[in-house]
Amino acid sequence: MTEKGLQDVVAAETRISDIDGERGKLWYVGYDIEDLARDSNFEEVVYLLHHLELPTRDQLDELNEFLVSEREPSPFLVSLMPTLAQQTSPMSMLRTSVSAASAYDPDGWEHTPEANYRKAMRLVAKTPALIAMYHRMRTGQETVPPNPKLPHAANFLWMLLGEEPDPELADALDVSLVLYADHTMNASTFTARVIASTLSDMFSAITGAIAALKGPLHGGANEEAMKMLEEVADPARAEAYVKDKLARKERIMGFGHRVYRHVEDPRARILRELSRRIGERVGDLRWWEISRAIEEVVLREKGLYPNVDFYVASLYHCLGIPHDLMTPVFAMARMAGWTAHVREQYADNRIIRPDSEYIGPRDRTYVPIDERG
């Protein structure tokens, strides 16, 4: 029997992450996302997803050193960026850049587990610089070199905005990267694993994942949610706006989830509070208040809870992240999970080749072209 959208179909075994959609729980390698969001940081989660253990201090130092040393994109990517900055949307830039990053990777076409691990870490390390460089070039600003003293999240804000960020804002971004880092067999991770299962290379698999994330039903939802907050513009308008959209059978972006169907996405719970705190910190609670008003109406009218992308919108807005870079920042975090899944697929591979149910006509007689009317 066909399960449209492959709902509930188990497509792979994984040790990386797990969801309980009934209870609204998410774990990375057995660790509750709430504990990781509170006590861990993005670099530690990168280590966890790839090594399936939390790092010791020395192991984390070693990873940090590698990531910091790999932050600069290759000269080839730097030379492509002015054109990409003028001619492409942010997610298209990222898709093209990751594809192009294969050209000068020091490990070349080597496909050993060690080479694939280094390729994965280079992609994790370089993505923030690609996004920041793209934004500064398209807005006619000088690019900002990475700051080796800053951790991953803070360094991204530094390269993007050109000033050292308030530590509380950098921490908030870091928490969101932890929350975005992996999420079992979502559409983009599945795409990456399908490509990896043909034994294609790491860059090809991640290029495909970025293409899948770009769509508004997946990663593109955070930017769409921000557009909605701007359209609503005032909490008092939320009720009429949402009712009108629902009456027209339109989707409310940042709501609903394939897996968390009757409970709240645990990431949304953390982000709601974080978005409020950062709104207060920067003295702009308006976006959070609009979000709360929308949330209340969507739950009452349609029984839908916000997903991870909804409160990221108001949070990232308050962090100063341009709205069309919200999905690339999601990709920057998910790079950790995608690359871990690609390596897991390589380690125990069988080509992913599902079946389809044919529903077209059968046993037709071929008619020569001149006799067709």
User: Catalytic residues, which ones?
Assistant: 218, 257, 309
Cβ atoms of residues 175 and 40 within 8 Å: no
Q: How far is the CB of 73 from ligand COA (least distance, A)?
A: 29
What are the helix and strand counts (H, E) for the chain? 16, 3
CB of 287 to ligand COA, least distance (A): 17
CB of 308 to ligand COA, least distance (A): 5
Could you tell me the two tokens for 319? 């962090």
In whole angstroms, the minimum distance from the beta carbon of 223 to ligand COA comes to 11
Where along the sequence are the contacts to ligand COA (CB under 6 A)? 5, 217-218, 221, 251-258, 302, 304, 307-309
For ligand COA, which is the closer residue by CB, 96 or 327?
327
If the CB atoms of residues 43 and 295 are measured against ligand COA, the closer one turns out to be 295
Q: Secondary structure of 244-271 in the HEC alphabet?
A: HHHHCCCCCCCECCCCCCCCCCHHHHHH
Using a 10 angstrom Cβ sphere, with 0-12 exposed, 13-18 middle and 19 or more buried, the burial of residue 200 is middle
Residues 6+ away with beta carbon under 8 Å from 333: 42, 176, 177, 178, 179, 180, 181
Distance between CA atoms of 225 and 216, rounded to whole angstroms? 10
Whose Cβ is closer to ligand COA: residue 82's or residue 303's? 303
CB of 3: closest distance to ligand COA in angstroms?
11
3-state secondary structure of 312: helix
Residue 355 has phi, psi (to 5 degrees) of -110, 170
Q: Which is nearer to ligand COA, 46 or 253 (CB)?
A: 253
Question: Are 227 and 247 contacting, i.e. CB atoms less than 8 angstroms apart?
Answer: no
Is 137 or 253 the residue whose CB approaches ligand COA more closely? Answer: 253
